[in-house]
């Protein structure tokens, strides 16, 4: 999984955990809703500047958006 996909997954997860809509996030970060959606779908790569704006809007460290996490699956066990 590339970093663009990692950020997409983390962004969506964190935004939902904070019960924030894409519209609210876009407004708080000064971005378009279409661009936020594109980032969440991993259609585009966000610049470092945009990463910082999104992190600030979500009230998290930027590293939380690009942190790779290991998902432990119990399927097949």
pLDDT score for 53: 98
Answer yes or no: is 71 within a domain: no
The count of structural domains within the chain is 1
- Do the beta carbons of residue 7 and residue 65 sit within 8 Å? yes
Q: Which residues of the chain have pLDDT under 70?
A: 70-77
Answer yes or no: is 60 within a domain: yes
pLDDT score for 71: 59
Among the listed residues 10, 5, 2, the one whose alpha carbon sits nearest the alpha carbon of residue 43: 5
Q: Indicate the pTM of the whole model.
A: 0.86
Answer yes or no: is 18 within a domain: yes
- Do the beta carbons of residue 22 and residue 36 sit within 8 Å? yes
Answer yes or no: is 31 within a domain: yes
Answer yes or no: is 73 within a domain: no
Residue 77 and residue 4: Cα distance in Å, rounded? 31
- Do the beta carbons of residue 64 and residue 21 sit within 8 Å? no
pLDDT score for 1: 86
Query: Residue 43 belongs to a domain with what CATH number?
Result: 1.10.260.40
Residue 20 and residue 29: Cα distance in Å, rounded? 12
pLDDT score for 19: 98
Structure-token pair, residue 14: 């964190």
| Structural domain of 36 | 3-65
């Amino acid at each position: 999984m590339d970093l663009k996909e990692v950020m997409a997954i983390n962004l969506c997860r964190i935004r939902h955990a904070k019960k924030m809509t894409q519209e609210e996030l876009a407004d708080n970060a000064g971005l378009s809703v279409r661009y936020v959606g594109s980032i969440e779908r991993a259609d585009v790569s966000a610049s470092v500047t945009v990463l910082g704006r999104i992190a600030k809007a979500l009230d998290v460290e930027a590293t939380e958006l690009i942190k790779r996490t290991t998902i432990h699956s119990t399927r097949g066990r």
